[in-house]
């Protein structure tokens, strides 16, 4: 999903795309709907989809979810849902809004009714791309079938019977160039290349690469590069991402996306695709700083480097000490994005107007609380846009005056993060 705000673009994972991060197995029992695992079973975790207790390169690590969020500390939780990362990535209707996972329960219930065409056990969430095909698979089982064909950009699979069917947007004359098989033995990489990266002691196997606003060709290149060097590719932002790789325009500016903003706040590398090309040409890691993004498509300059230096120096977070109250109407998904960014930047969220009014903000406040209002023009509105925007501003200023604080446009948050510095307040 994309949230667009007055030209400010926060790209999100659409519901049609599944997160990417990256044997025939002995599966215990048949999967049960909702597959909620009790806390005492966490030490012997079992995937709620494929029912395997194993973790391999083809399953990815175990992930744990409670109340729609990924969790890492189970001491205070009575129930969690445990899944392999690749099982959840390839499940068709699961997607993320910020760090909230959507449709996990419904997809588990759907998969509970479907038998895997390979091992004949239930929990098979991944179906063939051909709508009329009745074959479904556990993701690890499908990875073991050599004649399955995979579209890594759109996260769809063709079973052996339908492997000749075209994927979305695939042209017959260029199929060899856009196609990527899962199995490393089908790769065109040379033995010398593979052995060099396998021996490399610097970085690659610890890299977690995340593409931002890439074309289909660039996505394919990124995945191929990750296979070459042993890195992981993640299709959505996660805290363990090490490099965000993004496309740039003729001025060298990248698109301002949620991934880019989160990477700035996290002090991660934000690089052009030229870095990938340089690594491939050198057949080894090259200096990232030579390919670091310095400009975004709204003119903010120097944010990625400033974010890295701030993180490496353990400096206070950008919004440390600030309190935020979001006033007025925001699209729910977009508001969730803004709140995620504010929290990542160290800001404190005031959830309700009543709570905001009750708090005592005296003159001793070094950083006064902020009333943030939506300065985007409303879509499909019957009234004059200017009237609505003026009304939002007036409501925000009235509340700020009542509390004795500052009203700002929501774009101040985005501009400050993009530059990794507090920019002047905008009204």
* Interval 267-314: pLDDT, tens: 999 999 999 999 988 888 899 999 999 999 999 999 999 999 999 999
- β 243-246/269-272 pair status: parallel
Residue 125 — pLDDT band, cuts 50, 70, 90?
Answer: very high
Residue 24 — pLDDT band, cuts 50, 70, 90?
Answer: very low
Q: Are residues 29 and 79 in the same domain?
A: yes
Tokens of 22: 């990256």
pLDDT score, position 407: 92
Q: Are residues 42 and 170 in the same domain?
A: yes
Compute how many other C-beta atoms are within 10 angstroms of the C-beta atom of residue 355: 10
Mean of per-residue pLDDT scores for the chain: 78
Per-position DSSP letters for 266-331, written without gaps between them: HT-EEEEHHHHHHHHHHTS---GGGGB--EETTS-BSHHHHHHHHHHTTPPPTTTT-EEEEES---
- Region 59-64: mean pLDDT is 85
Q: Are residues 253 and 214 in the same domain?
A: yes
* Structural domain harbouring 342: 323-419
pLDDT score, position 100: 78
- β 62-66/79-84 pair status: antiparallel
| Residue 30 per-residue DSSP state | P
Q: Are residues 98 and 148 in the same domain?
A: yes
Closest CA to 330 of 231, 418, 405, 411: 411
pLDDT in tens, 171-216: 443 444 433 333 333 334 444 444 456 555 556 888 999 998 888 7
Q: Determine, yes or no, domain membership for 317.
A: no
Name the more confident of 185 and 22.
Answer: 185
- Quick check: pTM over 0.75? no
Residue 406 — pLDDT band, cuts 50, 70, 90?
Answer: confident
pLDDT score, position 386: 67
pLDDT in tens, 333-361: 788 889 999 999 999 998 888 877 777 65
CATH of the domain at 22: 3.30.40.10
Least confident range of 166-175, 384-393, 405-414: 166-175
Q: Determine, yes or no, domain membership for 9.
A: no
Least confident range of 76-90, 283-297, 310-324, 412-426: 76-90
pLDDT score, position 61: 84
Q: Are residues 34 and 151 in the same domain?
A: yes
Beta-bridge partner residues of 3 = 10
pLDDT score, position 201: 53
Closest CA to 22 of 115, 108, 140, 126: 140
Q: What share of the chain is helix, strand, coil (3-state, %, to 5)?
A: 35, 20, 50
Q: Are residues 204 and 280 in the same domain?
A: yes
- β 126-127/136-137 pair status: antiparallel
CATH of the domain at 264: 3.40.50.10190
Q: Are residues 149 and 261 in the same domain?
A: no
pLDDT score, position 301: 94
Residue with tokens 């239930």: 122
Closest CA to 214 of 273, 270, 258: 273
Q: Determine, yes or no, domain membership for 2.
A: no
First to last CA, the chain: 28
- Region 58-79: mean pLDDT is 72
Q: Are residues 180 and 327 in the same domain?
A: no
Q: Determine, yes or no, domain membership for 128.
A: yes
Q: Are residues 293 and 337 in the same domain?
A: no
Count the domains in the chain: 3
Q: Are residues 62 and 125 in the same domain?
A: yes
pLDDT score, position 262: 96
Closest CA to 66 of 46, 93, 38: 38
Q: Are residues 201 and 161 in the same domain?
A: no
Residue 414 to residue 318: CA distance in whole angstroms:
12
Domain boundary among 255, 284, 312: 312
pLDDT score, position 263: 97
Task: Judge whether residue 90 has pLDDT over 60.
Answer: yes
Domain boundary among 268, 293, 312: 312
Task: Judge whether residue 76 has pLDDT over 60.
Answer: no
pLDDT score, position 315: 95
């Amino acid at each position: 999903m994309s949230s667009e705000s007055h030209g400010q673009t926060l790209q999100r994972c659409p519901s049609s795309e599944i997160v990417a991060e990256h044997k025939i197995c002995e599966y215990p029992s048949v999967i049960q709907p909702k597959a909620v695992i009790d806390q005492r079973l966490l030490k012997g975790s079992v995937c709620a989809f494929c029912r395997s207790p194993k973790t391999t390169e083809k399953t990815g690590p175990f992930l744990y979810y409670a109340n729609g969020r990924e969790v890492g500390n189970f001491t205070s939780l009575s129930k969690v849902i445990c899944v392999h990362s690749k099982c959840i990535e390839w499940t068709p209707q699961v997607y993320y809004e910020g760090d909230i996972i959507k449709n996990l329960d419904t997809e588990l219930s759907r998969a509970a009714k479907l038998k895997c065409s390979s091992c004949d056990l239930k929990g098979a969430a991944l179906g063939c791309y051909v709508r009329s095909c009745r074959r479904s698979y556990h993701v690890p089982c499908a990875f073991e079938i050599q004649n399955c064909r995979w579209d890594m950009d759109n996260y769809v699979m063709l079973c052996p019977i339908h492997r000749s069917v075209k994927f979305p947007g695939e042209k017959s004359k260029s199929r060899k160039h856009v196609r990527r098989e899962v199995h490393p033995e089908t790769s065109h990489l040379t033995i010398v290349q593979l052995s060099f990266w396998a021996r490399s002691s610097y970085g690659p196997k610890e890299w977690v690469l995340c593409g931002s606003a890439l074309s289909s060709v660039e996505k394919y290149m990124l995945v191929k590069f990750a296979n070459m060097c042993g890195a992981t590719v993640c299709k959505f932002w996660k805290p363990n991402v090490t490099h965000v790789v993004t496309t740039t325009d003729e001025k060298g500016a990248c698109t301002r996306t949620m991934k880019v903003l989160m990477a700035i706040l996290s002090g991660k590398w934000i690089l052009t695709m030229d870095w990938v090309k340089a690594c491939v040409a050198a057949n080894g890691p090259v200096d990232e700083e030579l390919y670091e993004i310095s400009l975004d498509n709204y003119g903010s300059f120097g944010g990625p480097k400033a974010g890295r230096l701030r993180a490496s120096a353990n400096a206070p977070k950008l919004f440390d000490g600030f309190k935020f109250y979001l006033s007025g109407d925001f699209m729910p998904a977009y508001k969730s994005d803004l709140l995620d960014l504010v929290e990542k930047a160290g800001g404190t969220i005031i959830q309700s107007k009543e709570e905001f009014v009750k708090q005592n903000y005296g003159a001793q406040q070094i950083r006064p609380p902020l009333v943030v209002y939506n300065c985007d023009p409303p879509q499909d509105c019957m009234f004059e846009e200017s009237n609505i925007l003026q009304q939002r501003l007036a409501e925000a200023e009235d509340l700020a005056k009542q509390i004795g604080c500052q009203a700002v446009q929501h774009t101040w948050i985005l501009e400050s993060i993009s530059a990794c510095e507090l920019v002047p307040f905008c009204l």
